[in-house]
Amino acid sequence: MNHPEYSKVQSLLAQQGYISDPSIVMSVFLGMQLGKPILIEGPAGVGKTEIAKVMAHALDTDLIRLQCYEGLDATQALYEWNYQRQLLYIKMEEQGNKSLEEKEDTIFGDSFLLKRPLLQAITHHKAPVLLIDEIDRADEEFESFLLEVLSDWQISIPEIGTVKATHIPHVVVTSNRVRELSEALRRRCLYLYVDYPSYEKELAIVKSKVPQIDTQLADQICRFMQELRQMKLEKVPGVAETLDWATALSSLHFDHLEKELVEQTLGVILKDWGDMRHTQTSLSELLEKVNVVSKME
Amino acid sequence: MDLITRKTELSANIVSFCRFLREKGFVLGPREEADALEALAVTPVKDPDRFRQTLRAVLPRSLKQQELFDEFYPVYWKNLEQAVDSKVKELGEENQKPGNKPKKQQAPSLQQIKDWLYGKPGEEEAEIATYSAHEALGFKDFSSFTEDDLEEVKKLIILVAKKLAAQFNRRFRTVPSSANFDLRKTMRKNMRRGGEIVDMYFRQRKKRKVELVLLCDVSKSMDLYSRFLVQFIYAFQTIYKRIDTFVFSTSLHHIKDQMQERTFYKALDNLSETVPGWSGGTQIGSSLAEFVKDHGYRCLNKQSVVLIMSDGWDTGEPEVLQEAMRQIHKKASRVIWLNPLAGNPNFEASAMGMASAMPYIDIFASAHNIDSLRKALGKSF
């Protein structure tokens, strides 16, 4: 496995259009170098998942994603036998003259095995990026099971035997902090906290992702979002919402924010009725803050 | 007195820095130390900032630890630098700096660092000893509540919440996959294929859904405890989802939504904005009656456990309280009353409105400090 240099990681991330900061670069770099999973925490919509995607792009490898949810169990993460296909095969072979052993070998072969993300990741032809998304949604039992896989890099399938990893994947684990993760998992990972971006960083992200946007509009959008996040909101909008909004407004060919326009498109950034109402009542004030600052420049 | 000697090797410095962090509650073993050194070995360290970032990426394991790291990192290296400069540091001189004492927040941690740096653990131990002696005398109840205690309470609640969540029903439900194969359903569903088994069905025991209702007294007489109570409610609500929360003094307030905040302080803010009559008089009877009338149909059923936290000082009619309690007891599966005063040897239930409520309480327990709370909750769930 080749380990890219620190500066190379930096430029790779930049090439993929991912605006990062030193702590992100350092974590990604060390994650690759030390072969450790990176545990990324932070509010929704700040680009946690994006880091994994960008890593996969940068390393020119595949991204294998395991989306966690409540009740996710080992079989759904590892492998399942394609039971229906096995049955059909036995049915077809009923008239054949294969011995029992041969039949058994076939139906417990690779083609009847449904690989789920974890098995996929360790049997991949090239070290992939394994994204374990929203681990905090899965149960604690699953977390401990995951620990076992992450430390040994092997999975035992009773009918076949133990499958050892051909390449150790680059692992990215994300969490929204819905539930505290276990100390054991934390200790195995490098910790990275991604917060809402600063105004400068957000502006850079908007400009890189929505290149056709008007400079003044981008500036106003970012200032507005910064102010908006200061308010007491149920669901604080993330970068994803900023980008949606920027794309929407720029494709409507606007070059600056207006009160009416913001009112009409508020649904792009706010996803909660209470938040909408709350924001609408203080919209003039918010816009004033944004405009005043931009006039002063 | 030990002198701090300048370590010329990087590894020795890292190890002692890890030791320092360990004192601060970081869980760092030899593996982490090795990781840190390995990380430094592969990182082209050009400037001190890069050095800090490397350690920052490897050593902290949570947001809280990251913040602590940011706080302690400069302190440690500065102390080390000073020690290097003078080679020998006098103990007394640092302590007498004028700025040290008034800063309550900073002083203990700085003091600890120095104690550690100068190898003087004695004082710290003495402090802990007096502290625990204090508690043994029973003075320290929830009225003096610290952040550490909150963590302790959270752990306690997690245990209770787990128990609540893990109760299984006797009935089954069909699930996509589980260890239990549902033979009967599989046979029945596959009859249409002439008994050829193609689709498989699994079943699992249904989870029993215990609904928890918290009713907390926040009147004047509970003032000493209400800070803790609110923290208790908040912690419980973040951990256990099937819960409904109310506070009452002279009237009842539904505060479930206000407590649904990411941070405790935000929740507190919300509360102070929306709940009038905080630390007011107590009308337990009418408040509970209001609860039965307005929320009883929704909150009270045979799956619900009602947890009331109050001292029982009622200024209203005892009959009202009695009737309300009777209703609650009839409709809920269990009624638990936690009374902070019950830990007092002079406590007598008859002296207050408590007496009229007593017959309708399944579990009555004291909850004046963490230990009693642990016992009470252990008994209740």
Residue A52: per-residue pLDDT? 92
CA–CA gap between residue B318 and residue A282 (Å, rounded): 48
pLDDT at B308 over 50: yes
Predicted confidence pLDDT, tens digits, chain A (297 residues)? 445 678 888 888 888 888 888 889 899 999 888 888 999 998 888 888 889 998 898 889 999 999 998 778 787 888 888 888 888 888 888 887 888 888 888 888 888 988 899 999 988 888 999 999 999 888 878 888 888 888 888 888 888 888 888 888 999 999 987 677 888 888 889 999 998 999 999 999 999 888 888 888 899 999 999 989 888 777 889 998 999 999 999 998 888 888 888 888 889 999 888 788 888 888 888 888 877 544 444
What's the average model confidence in pLDDT over B226-236? 76
Tell which A residues from 16 to 35 touch B, by Cβ distance under 8 Å.
22-23, 26-27, 29-30, 33-34
Cα Dmax for chain A: 88
> For position B122, what pLDDT does the model report?
38
Residues of A in Cβ contact (< 8 Å) with B57? 23, 26-27, 30, 190-192
CB spacing of A193 vs B63 below 8 angstroms = yes
Write out A218-284 in H/E/C secondary structure: HHHHHHHHHHHHHCCCCCCCCHHHHHHHHHHHHHCCCCCCCHHHHHHHHHHHCCCHHHHHHHHHCHH
Nearest to A222 by CA among A235, A234, A209, A205: A205
- In this complex, how many residue pairs, one in chain A and one in chain B, have their CB atoms less than 8 Å apart? 66
* Residue A21 half-sphere exposure toward CB, CA atoms < 13 A: 17
Is A89 at the interface with chain B, CB within 8 A? no
Closest CA to B231 of B312, B333, B168, B149: B149
User: Which one-letter amino acid corresponds to residue A181?
Assistant: L
Please tell me which of the candidates B32, B54, B63 has its beta carbon nearest to residue A41: B63
Question: Residue B121 has what pLDDT?
Answer: 40
CA distance B34 to A41: 24
Quick one: how far is CA A160 from the chain centroid?
A: 32
> Could you read off the pLDDT of B97-117 as tens digits, one per residue?
444 333 333 334 444 434 444
H-type helices in chain B, by residue range?
Answer: 10-23, 30-42, 48-58, 63-86, 91-95, 106-117, 122-136, 147-165, 183-190, 223-239, 256-259, 264-274, 284-294, 296-299, 318-331, 354-357, 370-380
Preferred mutation among A26, A174, A179 to probe B, highest tally of B CBs within 10 A: A26
| CA separation for the pair B82, B84 (Å, rounded) | 5
Q: In the prediction, which pLDDT does A248 show?
A: 92
- Mode of pairing for the β-strands spanning B211-217 and B304-309: parallel
Q: Does the predicted TM-score (pTM) go above 0.90?
A: no
Provide the residue count of chain B.
381
pLDDT for the residue B108: 41
Would you put residue B176 in left (φ > 0), alpha (ψ -120 to 50) or beta?
Answer: alpha
Check if the beta carbon of residue A39 is closer than 8 Å to that of residue A186: yes
Tell me the ipTM for this assembly.
0.74
Does residue A76 belong to the interface with chain B, where contact is any CB pair within 8 Å? yes
Q: CA angle at residue A96 from A91 to A97, to 5 degrees?
A: 135
Question: For an interface test with B, which of A2, A3, A5, A6 has the most B Cβ atoms less than 10 Å from its Cβ?
Answer: A6
The pair of structure tokens assigned to A271 is 């996803």
Of A33, A177, A187, the CB nearest to B42: A33
Indicate the residue of B27, B61, B177 with minimum beta-carbon distance to A75. B177
- Asked whether the beta carbons of residue A183 and residue B27 sit closer than 8 angstroms, the reply is yes
Chain B residues within 8 A of A192 when measuring between CB atoms: 57
pLDDT class of B87 with cuts at 50, 70, 90? low
- The count of residues in chain A is 297
The tally of CA atoms less than 13 A away on the side-chain side of residue B96 is 4
pLDDT of B231 reads 76
Nearest to A290 by CA among A243, A267, A255, A256: A256
Residue A130 half-sphere exposure, CB side, CA atoms within 13 Å? 30
A133: tokens are: 């998304």
What percent of chain B has a predicted confidence (pLDDT) above 90?
A: 0
**pLDDT for A146-181, tens place per residue?**
888 888 888 888 888 888 888 889 999 999 876 778
Q: Residue A80: which residues within 8 A CB-CB, separation 6 or more?
A: A113, A114, A116, B177
Task: Confirm if B296 and B327 have CB atoms less than 8 A apart.
Answer: yes
Contact list in A for residue B33 (CB cut-off 8 A) is none
Cβ–Cβ under 8 Å, residues A129 and A16: no
Alpha-carbon distance of B10 to B18, in angstroms, equals: 12
Question: What is the overall mean pLDDT for chain B?
Answer: 72
- Between CA B145 and CA B153 the distance in angstroms is 11
- For residue B318, give both structure tokens: 């005892």
Measure in Å the smallest separation between the Cα of B239 and chain A Cα atoms: 8
User: Looking at beta carbons, which pairs linking B146-151 to residues 24 or more positions away fall under 8 Å?
Assistant: B149/B370, B150/B231, B150/B235
Q: How confident is the model at residue B94 (pLDDT cuts 50, 70, 90)?
A: very low
DSSP assignment letter at B350: G
- For residue B267, the chain A residue with the least C-alpha distance is A232
Q: Residue A174, SS3?
A: strand
The answer to whether the CB of B313 falls within 8 A of the CB of B347 is no
Helix (H, G, I), strand (E, B) or coil at B156: helix
Instruction: Check residue B132 and give its pLDDT.
Output: 32
pLDDT tier at B7 (50, 70, 90 boundaries)? low
The closest of A41, A129, A29, A22 to B42, measured between CA atoms, is A29
Q: Please answer whether residues B357 and B327 qualify as being in contact, where contact means their C-beta atoms are separated by less than 8 angstroms.
A: no
